[in-house]
A and B are shown apart, each in its own frame.
Chain A
C-alpha cells in the first residue's frame, strides 16, 4: 500500500524480543493504569493471597505484546482487534521472550489485513504465559483526520 516497507507475508516470524521485568515496571504500570491491587507491588499481600510473590498485571503483559507488535508492523497499520489469554503468572526478575507469527494476510481494493499470533514466554518455561492474536489493517486513507465524517 504505502510502498515504504514490504507487507508481511503469511508465515513471517517476528522477534524474539526480550524484556526483563522489574519491580519498577509493576509500580509504574499500577500508577499509570490506576490498578492498585496490592498483589502487584506488596510482597506480603501477594503471599497472603497464596501467590509466590508479587506478579505483573495481566494487562501489563498484554500491553507489552501490543507494544512490540506495533513496533514491528509495516507503517500505517492499525489494530482491528486484539485478544489475549493469560495462562500463567509473570514475576519481577523474570526474562520474557515475545514472538509473533503472521498467520494470514489478505488484500482487497481498499485495504490490507494481517492476522498475527503473538505470545509471551517466561524464559526457561515450556509454555507461553500469554498467548494472543491481533488483526491489523492498512488503508491508503483513514478519512478526514480533522474530525469524524459520520
Chain B
C-alpha cells in the first residue's frame, strides 16, 4: 500500500530519540571496511578534536524515526534515488540524538515504465545540547504498483 497526503507536507514527526552506542558505530564502520582509527579508538578521536568516537558520515540514516506525517511507503517498488547530508555538531558515541522527519515534496510523473511518484523526505537530527547534528534529504521513487 502506498499513499501520500499532500496536506501533510512540511509537518514534522515527533522526534525519536536514540542513544548513540559505541558498539553500533564500530559495527557500522566494520561493515563498510573502514579502518580509520578515528572510528574505533577514543584517543584518536579526541586527538582529532571530537568529544568521543564519531559516527561515520552515512550512519545517520540508520537512526530510527517516527512515521513521516502523510506518508505510507510501499513494501516493494521503492527506489532510493538520492541522498544528501549536511553536517553540524559531530554525532559521537554517548550522544542522545532526536530525529524528526517530514515530507518536503511529492511529484507524480508518467514514466516509460508506468506512473511514478518522486518523494523528497527530510530528516533533522538534534543532540542533547539542542545542536543540529545533521540534516538529511532523501529522494525516493515509488513505482506504480502492478496489479495482477
Contacts and interface: CB of A to CB of B under 8 A. Distances in A.
Interface of A: 19, 25, 28-29, 31-35, 49, 58-60, 62-64, 66-67, 70-71, 76, 78-86, 141-143, 145-148, 150
Contacts of B56: 63, 66-67
A33 B80 CA distance: 15
Contact of B31 (A25, A62, A141, A145): A25
A83 B131 CA distance: 21
Given A63-B32, A67-B34, A79-B57, A31 B83 contact: no
Given A49-B77, A67-B33, A67-B34, A59 B58 contact: yes
B87 A31 contact: no
Interface of B: 24, 27-28, 30-36, 46, 48-51, 56-58, 61-62, 76-77, 79-87, 89-90, 129, 131, 137
B30 A28 contact: yes
Contact of A80 (B82, B83, B86): B86
A30 to B, nearest CB: 9
23 contacts: A31-B31, A32-B30, A32-B62, A59-B61, A60-B31, A62-B58, A62-B83, A63-B32, A66-B32, A66-B58, A67-B36, A67-B56, A79-B57, A79-B87, A80-B86, A81-B84, A81-B85, A82-B58, A142-B49, A145-B50, A146-B51, A148-B89, A150-B131
B82 A33 contact: no
A60 B32 contact: yes
A29 B31 contact: yes
Contacts of B86: 80-81
A76 B48 contact: yes
Given A19-B33, A28-B30, A32-B28, A84 B82 contact: yes
Nearest to A64: B32
A144 B137 CA distance: 29
Contact of B83 (A28, A79, A84): A84
Contacts of B31: 25, 28-29, 31-33, 60, 63
Given A28-B30, A71-B36, A79-B87, A148 B129 contact: yes
B62 A33 contact: yes
Contacts of A80: 86-87
